[in-house]
Structure 1
Amino acid sequence: MKRTIRALQYFVEDNSKRLWILALWLAICSALFSWKFIQYKRRAVFHVMGYCVTTAKGGAETLKFNMALILFPVCRNTITWLRSKTKLGVALPFDDNINFHKVIAVGVAIGVGLHAISHLTCDFPRLLHATDAEYEPMKQFFGEKRPNNYWWFVKGTEGWTGVVMVVLMAIAFTLAHPWFRRNRLNHLPKPLKKLTGFNAFWYSHHLFVIVYVLFIIHGYFLYLNRKWYNKTTWMYLAVPMMLYACERLVRFFRSGHKSVRILKVAVYPGNVLALHMSKPQGFKYTSGQYVYVNCSDVSPFQWHPFSITSAPGDDYLSVHIRTLGDWTSQLKVVFAKACQPSSGDQSGLLRADMLQGNNIPRMPRLLIDGPYGAPAQDYKNYEVLLLVGLGIGATPLISILKDVLNNIKQQRDEEQGRAVVVESGVKNNKRKPFATKRAYFYWVTREQGSFEWFKGVMNEVAEKDKEGVIELHNYCTSVYEEGDARSALITMLQSLHHAKNGVDIVSGTRVKTHFARPNWRNVFKHAAIKHPDTRVGVFYCGTHALVGDLKRLSLDFSRKTTTKFDFHKENF
């Protein structure tokens, strides 16, 4: 019983913002359904169509609301502005905008089901079988000559627009499912398998442009409403559609002016493509944010999000892309063709450093759009950071590490400069101090070759962090855990090599590699002991498998110690 109560408390604390938003959304949907249900129960059509028409109209009202609401979570510029410029993040779960988009999609599907099934299987048949006396009040809606067959309803504007919308929605919803979007259905025949994957999801999702047009037409040509001010579909959709249209226009014009020049390309072990690009003029971002990337050589229409791995103070912009899907695989092929490794290069890296004059290869044209807000950008609010990355999930955290290092160096330089200024008697304007005083970074990866991805960053942090502000921990899970007899030889060689050369034999960096997975309870315990009466920001990016443990430990140690742990999960 105690465990159950504690688990419930943890769940409520961790999901408080999500719960009240869902409760509000359900309350609004229920109120709209009830309002229309009661309204049509009092009308003459109820005596002919019964509860079928009340259910259909109640479902239609929730459908109009959800079709309007579903556009807000995908207005990325608006969400980024609200996250950065307002305090609404205290009450609104901006990090869950895509999850809320999916929840609303379920509400849309339920509304379509209630509306379409009630009409097609109940309302229309009951109207066809109504007596002349029962049909008399219906003449003002369906005409003096009563419908004599089912086809009469389907061929009308209200009928065919509704059927086409249901078909298009079914296609988009089906291909948006992870089984189809991530190409998990391996048993499908080859012709059908070509219709799955991210490309199919991307293009089918844009069918909703047609759906919204038909939705407005369908909402105007109503059987049971003839007065324009009673046709509320356009009222629901006007503001959301205008906002979304402005969003798309902003993205279109902004991305068209943000063509970047490729400075360096590298393909690392584990199928990771690193792109270093020139920073567009006026492009400002915060570590932890992400950008959308478009490569016309792969697809002129598709934009894909990737975390920024460079720091705001760097003179370039970089992303690290793991080739998992069809688009990323094609992107790697395009850059591999454009930038072949030299004959003497045995590292397996493809590089284009743009320094050799006539030897510069022609790089594919890239456009970027952003930056956009992400959970990791809130790291500046904490004095102590606990950064956890699994595999390629380390990308946003690497940017944070570099930014922390740059700010530490800048503060040190400014302090030295202020000392000189004070001695000379000149006034100096002091800028707002950087909040972070300590950072712990845990990177867990399976393949040894993965350490090549951020080898330069690791060495830079280890070399330049003289005060020991950043503590780095690499974990390789494909090797037996430390203390195991089978890993004793590796451990011995690792220690000898690190002591002699200052370089870890496993990762090839100055950071010593641990084996197996970290003991996360000990990690949190260490942070709690070292930083009492402190609020620690826990930032995680990786697969969902570790989310539950980190959340539970954050809440558990926040309750039992004076150290408070705030957990943030980056979208992966």
Structure 2
Amino acid sequence: MVIIFVFAHPVIRKKAYRFFWSTHKLYVVLYILCLIHGLARLTGAPRFWLFFIGPGIVYTLDKVVSLRTKYMALDVIETELLPSDVIRVKFYRPPNLKYLSGQWVRLACTAFKTEEFHSFTLTSAPHENFLSCHIKAQGPWTWKLRNYFDPCNYNLEDQPKIRLEGPFGGGNQDWYKFEVAVMVGGGIGVTPYASILNDLVFGTSTNRYSGVACKKVYFLWICPSHRHFEWFIDVLRDVEKKDVTNVLEIHIFITQFFHKFDLRTTMLVSV
């Protein structure tokens, strides 16, 4: 438990992700030790198995289901370097892959260590025939990915693949059941809404969802400064163009202004 806790520290996880992931797999040993801990019957009959069996069955079933998409090797269709150190990776979608808007996947790139997987939210919508992720360069792996696909460094003859596991998460698909829905995103938590908002305007304009009761959706995003959503502005503009029924209303709230003389900040204040 101490080993897992120490290597799960944010600093170690960011700078040495491979070691974090390797030690995190010790949870198997941890549970085995917990199961045999009470066999000596020093304080009574062992009872840990009563608490373990339920989650253990659910976990096993989840692993069996996820095997259908485990470690798929998918072709990269397109990459784009965006502001705020973000890279958009667009890759092939298998015909049998179904997912909900707002879900996430685990990705690895064959150009690097193929067994090092990282979790990212899918920013493509379920009705699109491709998959995409917007990845911000923060740690060693994400910076390596961004630099690798930099046009100045990228070798066209070398075509890496994206290895995928997932999708995971419940998604956010209940909005259409209500006449008015409010969606709130904070900071980096806005990433799932790139998929959700796209799915929303497509669903309302094409009657994709049967019995849609939704008449208005308010999307509110709270972020520290304009530098945190430069890449997301293009996503919002594209969504607004597709919103032919005017069901979506967008509000952005900026909480900090460090750059008093920044022209873009001045324009945002004026608006």
Q: What is the TM-score normalised by the length of structure 2?
A: 0.78
Match of 1:461 among 229, 232, 239: 239
CA contact 1:383–1:438 (8 Å) conserved in 2? yes
Match of 2:6 among 174, 184, 205: 174
**1:446 corresponds to 2:225:** yes
Aligned to 1:87: none
Aligned to 1:382: 178
Pick the structure with greater CA Rg: 1
Aligned to 1:101: none
CA contact 1:335–1:364 (8 Å) conserved in 2? no
What is the SS of the residue equivalent to 1:441? strand
- Deviations along 1:508-567, one digit per CA (max 9) or x if unpaired, are xxxxx7339x9xxxxxxxxxxxxxxxxxxxxxxxxxxxxxxxxxxxxxxxxxxxxxxxxx
CA contact 1:480–1:515 (8 Å) conserved in 2? no
Alignment of 1:190-205 (within 5 A): 197-205=16-24
Q: What is the TM-score normalised by the length of structure 1?
A: 0.41
Aligned to 1:315: 129
Higher helix content, 1 or 2: 1
Q: Which moved more, 1:388-397 or 1:442-451?
A: 442-451
- Deviations along 1:79-102, one digit per CA (max 9) or x if unpaired, are xxxxxxxxxxxxxxxxxxxxxxxx
Q: For residue 211 of structure 1, what is the amino acid of its counterpart?
A: L
Q: For residue 463 of structure 1, what is the amino acid of its counterpart?
A: K
5+ long unaligned stretches in structure 1: 1-168, 184-196, 343-349, 351-358, 415-430, 491-505, 508-512, 519-572
Match of 1:299 among 113, 120, 125: 113
Higher strand content, 1 or 2: 2
CA contact 1:381–1:435 (8 Å) conserved in 2? yes
Q: For residue 446 of structure 1, what is the amino acid of its counterpart?
A: S
CA contact 1:307–1:395 (8 Å) conserved in 2? yes
**1:210 corresponds to 2:26:** no
Q: What is the Cα deviation at residue 268 of structure 1?
A: 1.2
Q: For residue 17 of structure 2, what is the amino acid of its counterpart?
A: F
Alignment of 1:256-267 (within 5 A): 256=71, 258-267=72-81
Aligned to 1:409: 205
* More RCO (CA 8 Å, sep 6+): 2
What is the SS of the residue equivalent to 1:274? strand
Q: Which moved more, 1:287-296 or 1:235-244?
A: 235-244
Aligned to 1:470: 248
Q: Measure, in 2, the Cα distance between the counterparts of 1:274 and 1:283.
A: 20
Q: For residue 370 of structure 1, what is the amino acid of its counterpart?
A: G
Q: What is the Cα deviation at residue 274 of structure 1?
A: 1.0
What is the SS of the residue equivalent to 1:294? strand
Match of 1:372 among 168, 173, 192: 168
Q: Measure, in 2, the Cα distance between the counterparts of 1:335 and 1:292.
A: 19
Q: Measure, in 2, the Cα distance between the counterparts of 1:241 and 1:449.
A: 40
Q: Measure, in 2, the Cα distance between the counterparts of 1:375 and 1:253.
A: 19
- Deviations along 1:409-447, one digit per CA (max 9) or x if unpaired, are 213xx9xxxxxxxxxxxxxxxx72333322233444624
| CA RMSD between the two structures | 3.8
What is the SS of the residue equivalent to 2:249? strand
What is the SS of the residue equivalent to 1:515? helix
Aligned to 1:394: 190
Q: For residue 200 of structure 1, what is the amino acid of its counterpart?
A: F
CA contact 1:441–1:470 (8 Å) conserved in 2? yes
Alignment of 1:484-495 (within 5 A): none
Q: For residue 204 of structure 1, what is the amino acid of its counterpart?
A: T
Identity %: 30
Q: Measure, in 2, the Cα distance between the counterparts of 1:384 and 1:246.
A: 36
Q: What is the Cα deviation at residue 408 of structure 1?
A: 2.7
240 and 405 in structure 1: CA distance in 2 versus 1, 3 angstrom threshold: closer
CA contact 1:171–1:204 (8 Å) conserved in 2? yes
Q: What is the Cα deviation at residue 478 of structure 1?
A: 6.8
Q: Which moved more, 1:386-395 or 1:235-244?
A: 235-244
